[in-house]
Structure 1
Amino acid sequence: MPCSRTPAIARVTNALNSTLRPSSVHSIEQAASQPACAPRQIALAAAIGPALLAALALGLGSAAMPQRVHAQPVQDAAEARRAYDIAPGTLDQVLNRFAGRAGVELAADAALTRGKTSVGLSGSFTVHEGFARLLAGHGLQAVRGGNGTYTLRLEAPPPGSANVVELPTVTVSAAGDAAEALPEAYAGGQMARGARLGMLGNVDMMDTPFSVSSYTAQTIEDQQASTVGDVLVNDPSVRFTTSAGHIYENYSIRGFSINADDLALSGMYGLSPNGHSPTEFIERVEVLKGPSALLSGMSPNGAVGGVINLVPKRAGDAPLTRFTADYISSSQFGGHPARGRRYGERKEFGVRFNGAYRDGRSELDGQSKRRVLGALGLDYRGERLRLSLDAYANEEEISNGSPWMASFSGTTVASPPKTGTNLLRGTHGRLDNKAAVVRGEYDFNDHITVYAGVGARGYRYSGYINGTRAGNVLPSGNYTGATYNQNGYIDTLSAETGLRARAQTGPVGHQVVLSATMLQMESGTINKTSASYPSNIYNPSTPKLAADPGAAPKTADTTLTSIALADTLSFARDRVLLTAGLRAQRVQTRSFSATTGLQTADYDKSALTPALGLVVKPWTAQVSLYANYIEGLSQGDTVTDVTARNYGQVFAPYKSKQMEAGVKWDAGEITNTLSVFQISKPSMLKDTASNTYNADGEQRNRGVEWNVFGQVMPRVRVMGGVTYTQALLTHTANGAYDGNTAFGAPRWAGSVALEWDTPWVPGLTLNGRAVRTSWQYINSANTQRIPGWTRFDIGARYATSIQNRKVVFRASVENLLNRSYWTGTFNDGFVTQNAPRTFKLSTTVDF
């Protein structure tokens, strides 16, 4: 029978904290030497990377509990009856916990458990009885092998059945398919074990010389996160640079801005939805922190702080028909249908549909919102060939108002008004995104894989979506305002291709990647400004509305091309991993006048950007020391302040640099990462006298980050962290701002989210979250600052079964205390405001 090279794997053992039994060492060494067509094993008991195989074979776990050296024979352990109390969760998580507590090893193809859940286990069982109870109704069985290891397989059909389908052999592939396989969820299910590192593909967190976070679909669903911004509230290094509820959702990572258009979809730029990125079709939200030119190429707007990558959903092996009905205050109602199926003798073909519709009054006084999403994911997973197609259409409309920003006159920053205050009644806006992307990869053999992807997106926007601000607000709240009506478009074509190869030169392993990328963008924008009018942020008047500016002419075109080569060298049985690479990049940018059509700027710049990354596991595979140096090349900043005299100007491309070092500790069910970093990039500063922006000086951010996630104890999960950042301006014109703190970069930021499965009501989970940001300067002159703020959220969910259908009820309250505060900055001198207390309710039913 031919071998199935479906997405990749990691061998397993649950002896993370235990001394290895001699028989275990023998069996692992045997597994490590099996040919490519041996059964593929996917981590359920510990979910650890390939580096752990060699570490375990060397007996590196010897620092753990000595009493387990004299473990009882496997046969006796399997027949012993023990008490278990395992909380509900995804099937792979529950099986992982059971295998760990039972002291047995479990191996499986991750596709068998994907998309399945378990109610947990409570009572006294033998190993066989426990597996049988957990797998009942899933069409699966755990089969015990001669060495005591259990293997998860499809349940055998009844004798004489005409529909007998033989389970294909699953193989460990040495080729590049491992780089495309979705990393497993970590203990607790809220975060994943790894993330996509651009051209390097998906990499386990302990093998990564970078700081990464990967939020799972479980987190998205359980927190009722309807946009990517709702998900990234959990990350202490990420903050928002637009007011809550704005039609655009922009971010900062490590103190540097990232526009909504800088998100990647399946690792490719220019294809994600602009404005808000809906989560209904997203499986993972991944954050790679720091510049990433070698890994991901150039982002459309030159993001430096990091990469946000969106991973679309796929059909699982188990059929899925699901509907979620939801409510968001003040009166938004919505629905989210989802359907997934796989077809073919070996379930080679997958179809996944996700839709969403929401309409009604928002949390902003008098405003209404409407959003429509349709997304389709198709995939084929053959013996050597894997293909996928993702397509979506997303529309978003607002009417009768918009969240807004404010700047202030003098050095006094006025207090924020009541949350939900609507300064811009009568304004409206609309965003339309349509995109499709095709990806494929082919294994020439067990050592070489080629891959390619191409996608296109059309984005249209209109209305009062930029310039939603109150300028030069006095301490009394008075200001003179104007509105800005805008039409525009961005059309993108994105493509990548490459080759991954694995080789061995003596004691050194190599994973070589050759990659080429191309991103073409054409954009146009035009706007009109209304007459000025007096108003007050505490008692707003009716604004004067700007006229429709008409069709948008072409105002810019950009082509970003690159070719990169990287090699990850592995030494000492994967205890030392060294990644070195170089990317040759070219930025071609032209800008044109919206009124005359004449060219106003033309940049064509090329550069080589290197990167080095090192991972060392000095004691066990559970501890990784890492460091990296990486450079980035970005197309120049664009002036986005519509009130500026040089609005729309594009500056010359520039380089950025990052140095980072840290330590990661995977304690089995909880992981900690501690890192220090420095990022430097040219800065764009505002000349208040002339009301223009200029490329001036350098911004240098130094900081310390601590991140934690996982299951602290049975039934209790945590994710969050703290970051400390010093963001300084240097080499500014005539030293005017040298030594000042960059605007919008708080010294301290933190977040923590907790979940607790209550023991007295099976299926009931309580959760809470706290988000804290310290004071920060809001202008480069450091004459204005806003105080720190804290937000508290609470929630609950209840999972049950009604008429043999899984049902989950969820409820949450965000900004529990309904506090009003300035949250951060958008541009130099402009602050953003938070959302009022928000109630969210939803019910999910599986049919």
Structure 2
Amino acid sequence: MPLFSAQAHPSTVSASFPGTLRRLVLACALGTGALLSASAALADSQPLSLNLPSQSLEATVHQLAHESGVAIAADSRVLAGRSAAALQGRYTVLQALQQLLAGSDLVALEENGVIILRSTAEEGALNLGATTINATGQGNDLPEAYSGGQVARGARIGMLGNRDIMDTPFNVAAYTAQNMENQQSGTVGAVLRNDPSIRFSTGEGHAYENFMIRGYALDSTELAINGLYGLAPDGHVPTEFLERVEVLKGPGALLSGMAPNGGVGGVINLVPKRAGATPLTRLTTSYVSDGYFAEHIDLSRRLGDEQRFGIRFNGVYGSGDTGVDDQSKDRTLASLGMDYQGDGWKLELDAYETHEKLDNGSPMMAGFSDLKHVLKAPKPDTNILEGISAKQISKAVLVRGEYDLNDNWTAYASVGGARTRYTGFLNGTRVKVTNDSGDASGETYNQAGYTHSLSTEAGVRGNFMTGPVSHQLVLSTTLLHQDIGRAPTVTGAKYITNIYHPIQPTIASAHGSSDKTGDNTLSSFAVADTLGFIDERVLLTLGVRSQRVRQKLSNPSYDERALTPALGLVLKPWDAPVSLYANYIEGLTQGGMVSDVSADNYGEQFAPYKAKQMEAGVKWDLGDFTHTLAVFQIEKPSMMFDSASNRYTDDGEQRNRGVEWNMFGSITPSVRLLGGVTYTRAELTKTAGGTYDGNTARGVPAWSANLGAEWDTPWVEGLTLTALGIHSSSQYLDAANQLKIPQWTRYDLGARYSTKVLSKDVMLRASLENVENRSYWAGVFNDGYATVSEPRTVKLSASIDF
């Protein structure tokens, strides 16, 4: 008998009873309670397009029974005095009830085609154990969506697997497909605008999306798919094939291994879509100013008598002009997700291919190191490099399997391969300003290259007891091998332009073929154990990873090892849903090599750098709304030059200290919030000769804030209004702290409308980003370069389910 949880957290319920008593309760419910409908069996229930207003629970159940034709039985005394939140979207009857009953003591059970609503507080209940409900109906065992549907109530914590946020000693966020669709987030970068701890070092319209998490760089090559590095698309990562974008803040060497380029600010993991229990055929047409159109088809089916085999296809084609003057973009995406659920085992396959081409230009990156002060920003649609183009192609295949050795132990393995290649003017899209009139010098760089990746993970995960102490033990091994090829960069002649009135740049000539320049292998073995004490009120995670880093084609070759431990603690001292947590965890970055031929230690290769984080915080789950407050410190070594000895050392250091407040969920049934505030003090603590000791690291605003809101309007059924505000305080462009870009704030507005057209479910969405069309310097790239804001952008889309 299906059981749907009525608790917001955890997904457990005590609700079943012996057959005779069960039939007696059903008879009583039918006889003395309210038999709300009896015209169809639950087995015949199909997903419904629901738009239920906020009202009494009894009225909502009556309406749901009427619209579905499914019998719902409940004692009126159980429903009395209870209210239900508004509910919009496509749900089966049981899925709808699971959403409506979340946070209460009620559960929904099926009996002979009738659904019974019952209070778990009644006597005679038997404990059925943990039952996980995924509101999106996915074939993979993802944590369910939290109230409001914008984020999930858990995420993959690397090798530890999926964990509830309240049981996790880290600050994590998992943005849902619903959030991406409603915000019309075309790329992962657009999704991460919701997070105040994340800012960007490349601008809108650039060929790459690079991030800053907790003040440390994380580039687009360091995103993981299903926990494996090296398999994500190059440049922009499209969202149409993603179910979740998960963010774990802080270093994650134990949890996920070393990132390819050693980013330590956080881990971004992408979870592809799976086929849900409900068949889906959805066509979405979208428009983005100034003339970009796209078509997206999303097909999902589960096949077989028991629907064990699932298949999900997403295809996208888009073409047209972007918000940058005279720039255009073409892109395609084809992705396939398949899974098979066996008895005690499952197998999953994901494959994608994506092409993206940018023609005739790039947005602004301007340097001010020669001028010694920063000028006002140009118009955000300014095209600084008319005539250039760039193309990126990425494809990958990933297979993952799990096998239950017994009731307590599971073995798992993943293997994936990816090939990416690029050509054109992807980097060097910048100029250096020379005077107060905005005159600037620049040069273009024509490049080409490829990366071939093989990524694997295998391990075993198990649960057992030692006396009163529970254990969740994981052993994992990973390997990432990458062959990297680069063509010699062709540099065009220097030219003079103006950041306010650009002229045609001098275009570099054609590049040559790409030769193999890198043969890199990252391999590791890790073990971690989460110990539970006092009925799981105390959770202690201990672990260590042994990492090996090898580079065969570097000069000299590189082969280094490092141990990265971690410790995490979660305390639940009260009956209230509050978790106190703390962690110590390390990150790993490949050691630098001295490339200065004039240095006495030219060619010296340093051991891997270890970044060290300490963090503590509190999480408070109010049922429909959650707060997380965290304080952290991350110390990361770096190379620096000692002029007295004419040698480079690895004694440099940057230390970031900060406070984060994140919030998400529903504050009323019709109002949802998502956002937070971050304060970061990014300090250079050890610099060459102490010259810049105590200065603020470049590209890290002291204050960052994001707040998004959604409101289901009471006067128009199906209409939701949205707003998003993003703020960053001033940022330094250089280590000397002589150049600073001012603070900025931008606002986005939007609306969506759910309706039916010719009996088909239709969703209309509209948004206006950077409403005021403000011109500002948005972020920092490399040393001394500022990126320009994106222009005012209109986004429109229409989705129809066939």
Indicate whether the TM-score tops 0.5.
Answer: yes
2: CA distance, partners of 1:477 / 1:694 = 38
For residue 585 of structure 2, what is the amino acid of its counterpart? I
**What is the aligned partner in structure 1 of residue 411 from structure 2?**
450
C-alpha distance 807-272 of structure 1, shift in aligned 2 (>3 A): same
Listed as ranges, the matches of 1:372-411 within 5 Å are 372-408=332-368, 409-411=370-372
What SS class does the counterpart of residue 194 from structure 2 fall into?
A: coil
Any conservation in 1 of the 2:620–2:628 contact (CA below 8 Å)?
A: yes
Contact map agreement 1:302 1:637 (CA 8 A) in 2: no
Counterpart CA distance in 1 for 2:682 and 2:130 is 46
**SS of residue paired to 1:840:** strand
Q: 1:331 to 1:152 in 2, by over 3 A?
A: farther
Q: What RMSD, in angstroms, separates the aligned Cα atoms of the two structures?
A: 3.3
**CA shift for structure 1 position 653:** 2.3
Q: Which moved more, 1:730-739 or 1:773-782?
A: 730-739
Residues 501-650 of structure 1 aligned to structure 2 (within 5 Å): 501-525=462-486, 526-591=488-553, 599-620=554-575, 622-636=577-591
Q: Is the 8 A contact 2:462 2:474 kept in 1?
A: yes
- 8 A Cα contact 1:301 1:637, kept in partner: no
CA shift, 1:730, in A, is 1.5
Q: Report the secondary structure of 2:221's partner residue.
A: helix
Q: Distance in 2 between matches of 1:139 and 1:368?
A: 42
Shift of 1:424: 0.5
Return the alpha-carbon distance in structure 2 between the equivalents of residues 806 and 338 of structure 1.
Answer: 14
Residue 279 (structure 1) aligned with residue 279 (structure 2): no
**Aligned residue among 658, 661, 671 for 1:703:** 658
Deviation at 1:556, TM superposition (A): 1.6
Q: Does 1:301 align with 2:301?
A: no
* Offset of residue 538 of structure 1: 1.0
Please give the alpha-carbon distance, in whole angstroms, between the structure 2 residues aligned to 1:517 and 1:154.
49
1:154 deviation in Å? 9.7
What do residues 554-582 of structure 1 show as CA deviations (whole Å, max 9, x unaligned)? 12221000000010011111111100001
One-letter amino acid matched to 2:513: A
Partners in 2 of 1:474 and 1:117 — Cα distance?
Answer: 60
1:195 corresponding residue in structure 2: 155
Structure 1 portions without partners, runs of 5+? 1-38, 54-73, 84-107, 158-169, 592-598, 641-647
Matched, 1:681 2:636: yes
**For structure 2, which runs of at least 5 residues remain unmatched after alignment?**
15-26, 37-41, 71-90, 99-104, 116-127, 133-137, 596-602
Q: What corresponds to 2:781 in structure 1?
A: 826
Q: How far apart in 1 are the matches of 2:547 and 2:144? A: 33
TM-aligned CA deviation for residue 339 of structure 1: 0.3
Q: Distance in 2 between matches of 1:578 and 1:516?
A: 22
In the alignment, does 2:194 pair up with 1:234? yes
In the alignment, structure 1 residue 496 sits paired with structure 2 residue 434: no
Q: Distance in 1 between matches of 2:780 and 2:649?
A: 18
The letter of the residue matching 1:119 is: N
Shift in alpha-carbon separation, 1:842–1:128, aligned structure 2, 3 A: closer
The answer to whether the 8 A contact 1:751-1:771 is kept is yes
- 1: CA distance, partners of 2:466 / 2:2: 25
User: Are residue 210 (structure 1) and residue 167 (structure 2) matched?
Assistant: no
Determine if contact 2:4/2:94 at 8 Å carries over to the other structure. Answer: no
Q: Is the 8 A contact 2:378 2:788 kept in 1?
A: no
CA gap of 1:139–1:478, structure 2 versus 1, over 3 A, is closer
List per-residue Cα deviations over 1:771-790 (Å, max 9, x = no partner): 00000111011111110000
Correspondent of 2:428 among 467, 470, 476: 467
Q: Which amino acid aligns with 1:759?
A: P
What's the counterpart of residue 252 of structure 2? 292
Matches within 5 A, 1:69-148: 118-121=50-53, 125=58, 129=62, 132-133=65-66, 135-136=68-69, 140=93
Distance in 2 of aligned mates of 1:522 and 1:708: 42
Matched position secondary structure for 2:178:
helix
CA contact (8 A) 1:140 1:153 kept: no
Aligned partners of 1:49 and 1:204 also within 8 Å: no
- 2:376 match: 415
2:48/2:92 contact within 8 Å kept:
no
Amino acid at match of 2:765: R
Amino acid at match of 2:551: T
Give the count of matched residue pairs: 730
Q: Does the 8 Å contact 1:330/1:361 carry over to 2?
A: yes
Aligned in 2, Cα 1:477/1:728: closer, same or farther, shift over 3 Å?
same
Return the alpha-carbon distance in structure 2 between the equivalents of residues 803 and 290 of structure 1: 49
Q: Shift of the alpha carbon at 1:474? A: 2.6
Contact 1:78/1:127, CA 8 A, preserved across alignment: no
Decide whether the 8 Å contact of 1:530 with 1:547 is kept in 2.
yes
Report if the CA contact (8 A) 1:686-1:828 is conserved. no
Give the whole-Å Cα distance in 1 for the aligned partners of 2:638 and 2:519: 23
The amino acid that maps onto 2:536 is: D
Distance of 1:687 and 1:396 partners within structure 2: 44
Show the counterpart of 1:438: 399
Q: What is the distance in 2 between the residues matched to 1:321 and 1:633?
A: 44
Distance 1:40 1:681 in 2: 51
In 2, the alpha carbon distance for the partners of 1:235 and 1:440 equals: 32
Would you say the 8 A contact 2:4–2:109 is kept in 1? Answer: no
Matches within 5 A, 1:306-317: 306-317=266-277
In the TM superposition, what are the counterparts of 1:732-771 in structure 2 within 5 Å?
Answer: 732-771=687-726
Read off the aligned partner of 1:569 and give its amino acid letter.
L
Task: Judge conservation of contact 1:402–1:422 (CA < 8 Å) in 2.
Answer: yes
Contact 1:755 1:765 (C-alpha < 8 Å) held by counterparts? yes
Aligned counterparts of 1:638 and 1:667: Cα–Cα separation in 2: 50
With over 3 angstroms needed to count, the CA separation of the structure-2 counterparts of 1:620 and 1:680, relative to structure 1, is same
CA contact (8 A) 1:685 1:780 kept: no
The corresponding residue for 2:81 is: none
Whether contact under 8 Å (1:79, 1:127) holds in the other structure is no
Q: Which whole-Å CA distance do the structure 2 matches of 1:814 and 1:439 have between them?
A: 39
Partners of 1:406 and 1:422 lie apart in 2 by 12
SS at match of 2:306: coil
| 2:767 match | 812
Deviation at 1:620, TM superposition (A): 2.2
User: Percent identity between the aligned chains?
Assistant: 52
Q: Is the 8 A contact 1:414 1:474 kept in 2?
A: no
CA distance in 1, matches of 2:246, 2:789: 24
- For 1:241, the aligned partner's letter is S
Cα distance in 2 for partners of 1:724, 1:82 equals 55
Q: Could you say what secondary structure the match of 1:182 adopts?
A: coil
C-alpha offsets along residues 52-92 of structure 1, whole Å, 9 cap, x if unaligned?
Answer: 99xxxxxxxxxxxxxxxxxxxx9799977899xxxxxxxxx
- TM-score where L is the length of structure 2: 0.86
**Structure 2 vs 1, CA of residues 139 and 249 (structure 1 numbering), >3 Å: closer, same or farther?**
closer
The answer for the alignment partner of 1:100 in structure 2 is: none
Structure 2 counterpart of 1:671, one-letter code: T
1:164-175 equivalences under 5 Å are none
